[in-house]
Amino acid sequence: MLTIKKMISEEIERILKGINADAGLDSGTVCSMLEYPPDEKMGDLALPCFKLSKVLRMAPVKIAASIAESFSCEAVDKAEALNGYFNIYLSGEYLAKKIAAEVAEKGDKYGAPTELGEGKTVVLDYSSPNVAKPFHIGHLGTTVIGHSLKKLHEFAGYKCVGINYLGDWGTQFGKLIVAYHKWGNAEAIEQGGVDALVELYVRINNAIAEDATLADEARAEFRKLEDGDEENIRLWKWFVDISLAEYQKTYKQLGIEFDSYKGESFYTDKMPAQVQKLRDMGLLKIDDGASIVDLEEYGMTPCLILKRDGSTLYPTRDIAAAVYRKETYDFDKMIYVTSAGQSLHFAQWFKVVELMGYEWYDKLVHVPYGTVSINGAKLATRTGNVILLRDLFAESIAKVAAIMDEKNPNLENKEKISEEVGVGAIVFYYLSNNRIRDINFMMEDALSFEGNTGPYVQYTYARTCSVLSKSPDYDKNAALTITSTDETSLLKTLSRFEEVVREAIAAYEPSVVTRYILDVAGAYNRFYHNCSILGAESEEIKNTRLVLTDAARTVLGNAFGLICLAKTEKI
């Protein structure tokens, strides 16, 4: 659509220059003013002429009429002035010629704004669970939004580095070590994995609530770990490995791989230099024994750098990590995806980085998201009473498997497909909302094959594959014969893909893609129901409809890839 918009804008530029050559209106400006009317009856594109009336010193109604008078463009069937709008109706024949050919030619690159990221690097910090704590649905957001942003940037030609900044350091390891010595046994932990660790963690927290001396013991064990005690390091590594092995299972189901797992522990020896720099620059203030950076001037509470006992904090590590990553990857942008609860933390230390004189401070982006509850129930983290991602996926997969048994009992590969659809249902449902909104997860809604769900769009994808497999010898290069508005509608929807991708990247908002997928699925299904494909009136029409089906499959597939949704060829 962008190329068509450009063509139209150039023609309008020509006319506007005729009205007033000195107004300085170029096609780029016109192009950015073109809108998609809310109702197709009012055209496929519209130019709201009131936006031009000031520069041209002319009433919108008159501008629209003047454009309509001499407008001519091969991509346009009809164009008319109405109430100060210039409404444009695209030619189905032209769309068929251009869009279908473009999709066929570009294939898995169709829709990619590749010049956007050329030669640029983006670092994405996402998922980042805290070791030996449960990987629960609170992490769903950072994991799937983060990965989707990575895929979107890759699609746009950026070089991407996905970092899982594991929470693998901190006093919780002191607690775990104490708990392990008191109640743990190696075999049970090897077998029970993260669950066994979480159990120990919950138990020690309860014990500490009764007996405060245990907290001192835990602090002492953590100190030993920091000082490099061999046995404690061994235990710590083991806890990290066990946790990671468990997380990997979930990542695998989602098709996620990280480029780096450098977690918080990696930065222990990189913090002193930054603390020293802060001190040298006179940015540190002692407040009740702790070292802070005062941010009152910027309307924020202070950023904590060192505790009273001299130990470092979460912001200290983030600052050191950012400096290290700038040196290592020389990023053009670094994106952090976390819950909105951490927004202040990021605003604070981004400011500190700026005050430290790092000129790349404005390349740091925090992407927050809202809270998740399930079937109305809020989460409780501290008590260990949480819904694990693993269990959520397992439940969804089991339910999908049951539906499949009923609907399509002879399906081959049922296990794999149930997994793809079960996981996809959750991902799609989650990413259907604007990320900042709090969401209440309703399992029934997510799994429905009828609503605006993952199963529905995956089913639509499978439908395109099934149609094409029944008549694989169509000719992608033949001239197309458009006979139905459902065909034109589908083409128009397909033509919007690149703009959708650009919008999703600009707003860091995967839901833009999710909603677009629903548009494509809707347009394809309307076409499928109203236009007979395999039994079409003539060979030309049949070929046209197969080519359109192929184009819909390509666009759906490309878009699925952007939001961690598997391309299910059969359901």
**In the complex, least distance from residue 260 CB atom to ligand ARG, rounded to whole angstroms:** 12
| Interface with ligand ARG in residues 164-193 (CB under 6 A) | 165, 167
**In the complex, least distance from residue 318 CB atom to ligand ARG, rounded to whole angstroms:** 5
Binding of ligand ARG at residue 125 (CB under 6 A)? Answer: yes
Contact 512, 562 (CB under 8 A): no
Contact 420, 567 (CB under 8 A): no
Site map (CB under 6 A) of ligand ARG, residues 329-368, x = contact: -------x-x------------------------------
Contact range with ligand ARG by CB under 6 A, out of 101-109, 123-131, 275-283, 430-438:
123-131
Structure tokens at 460: 């639509």
Per-residue 3-state assignment (H helix, E strand, C coil) for 456-520: HHHHHHHHHHHHHHHCCCCCCCCCCCCCCHHHHHHHHHHHCHHHHHHHHHHHCCCHHHHHHHHHH
Find all residues with CB under 8 Å of 32, minimum gap 6, and list them: none
User: What's the rounded Cα separation, in Å, for the pair 567 and 449?
Assistant: 16
- Dihedral sign, CA of 94, 96, 99, 105? negative
Among 87, 128, 148, 250, binds ligand ARG (CB under 6 A): 128
**In the complex, least distance from residue 437 CB atom to ligand ARG, rounded to whole angstroms:** 20
If binding means CB under 6 A, how many residues of this protein chain bind ligand ARG? 9
Binding of ligand ARG at residue 274 (CB under 6 A)? Answer: no
Q: Give Cα 542 distance to the centre of its chain.
A: 37
Q: How many residues would you count in the chain?
A: 571
Which residue number is nearest to ligand ARG in terms of Cβ? 167
- Main-chain phi, psi angles of 569, to 5 degrees: -80, -25
Contact 519, 555 (CB under 8 A): no
Contact range with ligand ARG by CB under 6 A, out of 107-115, 127-135, 206-214, 215-223:
127-135
**In the complex, least distance from residue 338 CB atom to ligand ARG, rounded to whole angstroms:** 5
**In the complex, least distance from residue 295 CB atom to ligand ARG, rounded to whole angstroms:** 18
Contact 188, 224 (CB under 8 A): no
Site map (CB under 6 A) of ligand ARG, residues 297-336, x = contact: ---------------------x-----------------x
Q: Of 338 and 418, which CB lies nearer to ligand ARG in the complex structure? A: 338
Q: Of 141 and 510, which CB lies nearer to ligand ARG in the complex structure? A: 141
| Interface with ligand ARG in residues 130-149 (CB under 6 A) | 130
User: What's the rounded Cα separation, in Å, for the pair 97 and 95?
Assistant: 5
Least Cα distance to 397 among 563, 194, 253 occurs for 253
Site map (CB under 6 A) of ligand ARG, residues 147-166, x = contact: ------------------x-
**In the complex, least distance from residue 331 CB atom to ligand ARG, rounded to whole angstroms:** 14
Q: Which residue has the tokens 């159990």?
A: 199
- Would you tell me which residues interact with ligand ARG (CB under 6 A)? 125, 128-130, 165, 167, 318, 336, 338
